[in-house]
Structure 1
C-alpha cells in the first residue's frame, strides 16, 4: 500500500450547539453548519431544502491525537463489553480523526444550514456535507452486537 498524504480543507464550520464532546445526550442539540462564503455562494445549497437529513463528515479537532489505540480495546473502557479492534468502534480515536454523522436538516438560510442531532461541537471543521438518500442506506437485513445497543441507549436521548 502506498502511503501518501492527502490535503483536505474544511468547507464549513459547526456554529453553536455543544461546546464539549460527551458520550451521550445529543438528542435535540441544534447547531448551524456555516459554509465557507469565500469559496461558495448560495447556489451551492440550491435544492438542499428538499431533504430532511444530511450526512456530515467532520474532523475531531478537540481530540488528543496522542490517544490512539489501533489494537483492540473495550468500548468506553467498560469491562462488561468485549474488546473490539480499531475498526469495530465509531469513536474519535481514529487514524485520520474523522467523524461521520447523520442529522436532521431544519432549515437552509443562505450558507447556514440549521441542523439538529449533529454530534459535533461548536467550532468543528466540516469536511463534507451530503444530502441523505434512502437508497444509500443499508440494503438487506442488518445486525450488530448487543453491546452497541447497550452503549448507545442514551446517545440521542434529549440533552440533560
Structure 2
C-alpha cells in the first residue's frame, strides 16, 4: 500500500444525545444532535443547510472491539437461515476502517448544532463528514437486493424506546 492509499481523517464533530448503545433495530424516532467543532467552524459552515430535509453522515464505529473485525464471509446477525455474505455485502461495524454511513432527517440547524432524527450512531460517535442529501444522487435504475435484507431490517427504523 502506498502513502497515497493511506490517509488520516479528523472528526469534524460528535453525536450528542440519542442512544448510548448500538443496537440492531428500532432506530426510528431517535433524536440526536451532530455538534460540529466550534474551534474550526463558524455558523457560516452550516449556512443554507436548513433548506435540506436529509443529511448523509459518515462516522466512526468508535465502540467496536477491534478483535471483532471480520473480513471474511459470515451470516448476517449470525442467523442460520440467512446465507453467508462477505464483508462487502454487509453494512455493519466489522469493517477494516470502522466507518459507518447513515442518512437521517435534518430536523433543524442551530448554529453548529444539527438536530437530526434516525441517525443510527450513538452518543459520543465521532462524525467525519456531513453532506446534504440530493435526490439526484440517489440510485439510478432498478434497485435490487436479496430477500434476507428486507427480513433483517424490517424493524431497523421502527420506533424504539428511548
TM, length-normalised to structure 1: 0.98
Residue 5 (structure 1) shift:
3.2
Q: Unmatched 5+ residue regions in structure 2? A: none
Residue 65 (structure 1) shift:
1.0
1:2 equivalenced with 2:17 (yes/no): no
Q: Equivalent residue for 2:94? A: 93
Q: Equivalent residue for 2:152? A: 151
Could you say what secondary structure the match of 1:149 adopts? Answer: helix
For 2:97 and 2:2, the matched residues in 1 are separated by 16
Q: Equivalent residue for 1:59? A: 60
1:132 equivalenced with 2:136 (yes/no): no
Q: Which runs of 4+ in 1 moved over 4 A?
A: none
Q: Equivalent residue for 1:11? A: 12
Query: Deviations 1:91-119 (Å, cap 9, x if unpaired)?
Result: 00010000000000000000000000000
RMSD: 0.9
Residue 14 (structure 1) shift:
0.1
Residue 2 (structure 1) shift:
3.1
TM, length-normalised to structure 2: 0.97
